[in-house]
Amino acid sequence: MPGHDLSGVVVELGYGTTGLDIGQRVFGLTDWTRNGSLAEYTAVEARNLAPLSADVDLTVAAALPISGLTAWQGLFDHGHLTTGETVLVHGAAGGVGSIAVQLAREVGARVIGTGRTSDRDQALALGVDTFLDLQTEKLEDVGKVDVVFDVIGGDILDRSAALVRAGGTLVTIAMPHPVRPTDGRAVFFVVEPDRARLADLATRLRDGRLKPVVGAVRPLAEAPAAFAPDKRTPGKTIIRVAQD
Ligand SMILES: NC(=O)c1ccc[n+]([C@@H]2O[C@H](COP(=O)([O-])OP(=O)(O)OC[C@H]3O[C@@H](n4cnc5c(N)ncnc54)[C@H](OP(=O)(O)O)[C@@H]3O)[C@@H](O)[C@H]2O)c1
């Protein structure tokens, strides 16, 4: 069964599980080596889950685990982004990019977002200071930045290396770097489960600091069609397998 992100209610505990109770609302992700979230019941390692309070919508929460952890780890653990710095977020209206924009704004960074022409309004609504349209504008016009957060790869990633200021970081989640900044670091990483950080993200969801971009919400029977490449809609596609 495919799928990594999930939210729901604990129905059974494995031997020795601590920190969770039956009936508890949770969200999180299955390990990369094992999919399985697009199902009525999913076996998940407890370390990959964090509690969700009753007032957080399960549909919205399901949009956050991988995008939220990836954005956090990319910006702060790998990119070392801090207050007052400038970050260039590629794909700023997408699943990971939209969360990266909001987290970077929260820490007090200046955010330049990129995307397609149709992404401009969404990116501005999320809080980018500047939007660069990759279809009509020149990436190099951005100037130097402290951190690049890339989700696109290819030519955009190659050309982004030259935008990194001395001592800065080029972070990508798309592919290993073919090109590196002259005087900066380059990091390609795969997101790691982190219960404590998921709990931080849940707090932000609850108090409104984070708003995942939720796209289509479809029943389980329609999951294959929902993920067909030619049927994708903007925002995270959510598959509902049960009523809240
Ligand atoms: N390494 C990791 O741990 C990790 C974790 C999560 C995700 N990922 C990978 O990271 C990538 C992004 O994930 P996501 O969930 O953020 O995907 P997403 O929701 O599709 O967001 C990507 C955004 O970038 C835009 N985009 C893509 N190519 C573009 C281009 N050439 N010019 C302008 N805009 C472009 C997309 O627009 P369109 O929708 O119009 O194409 C979309 O808005 C995926 O390949 C995913 O598999 C890796």
> Where do the structural domains in the chain lie, given as residue ranges?
5-65+193-240, 71-188
Confidence band of 243 (pLDDT split at 50, 70, 90): low
User: Does residue 115's CB lie within 6 angstroms of at least one atom of ligand 1?
Assistant: yes
Class of domain 71-188: alpha beta
CA of residue 77 to ligand 1 center, whole Å = 20
Q: Region 171-176: what's the mean pLDDT? A: 97
What is the helix (H) or strand (E) element at residue 238, kind and residue range? strand 236-240
Q: Where are the alpha helices (DSSP H) in 73-171?
A: 95-106, 120-126, 154-160
Rounded-to-5 percentages of helix, strand, coil across the chain: 35, 25, 45
Q: Region 213-222: what's the mean pLDDT? A: 92
User: Does residue 70's CB lie within 6 angstroms of at least one atom of ligand 1?
Assistant: yes
Residue nearest to atom 34 of ligand 1 (CA): 115
Q: Where are the alpha helices (DSSP H) in 74-231?
A: 95-106, 120-126, 154-160, 195-207, 223-226
| Residue 73, token pair as written in the block | 């780890």
pLDDT, residue 31, reads 86
Q: Region 23-29: what's the mean pLDDT? A: 98
Reply yes or no on whether the pLDDT at 244 is more than 60.
no
CA of residue 91 to ligand 1 center, whole Å = 6
Q: Provide the residue count of the chain.
A: 244
CA of residue 208 to ligand 1 center, whole Å = 24
User: Does residue 91's CB lie within 6 angstroms of at least one atom of ligand 1?
Assistant: yes
Residue 51 pairs in a beta bridge with 26
233 C-beta neighbours (distance < 10 Å), count: 10
**R_g of the chain, CA atoms, integer Å:** 18
Can you tell me which atom of ligand 1 is nearest the CA of 232?
39
Contacts of the segment 174-183: beta carbons below 8 A, 24+ positions apart: 174/150
Q: Which of the residue ranges 56-65, 141-150, 232-241 would you say has the lowest mean pLDDT?
A: 232-241
User: Does residue 151's CB lie within 6 angstroms of at least one atom of ligand 1?
Assistant: yes
Q: Give me the percent of the chain exceeding a pLDDT of 90.
A: 87
Q: Using CA of residue 42, residue 46, residue 47, residue 51, what is the dihedral sign?
A: positive
CATH superfamily of 5-65+193-240: Medium-chain alcohol dehydrogenases, catalytic domain (3.90.180.10)
Residue nearest to atom 48 of ligand 1 (CA): 173
User: What's the pLDDT tens digit per position in 79-138?
Assistant: 999 999 999 999 999 999 999 999 999 999 999 999 999 999 999 999 999 999 999 999
pLDDT, residue 169, reads 98
User: Does residue 235's CB lie within 6 angstroms of at least one atom of ligand 1?
Assistant: no
Can you tell me which atom of ligand 1 is nearest the CA of 190?
3
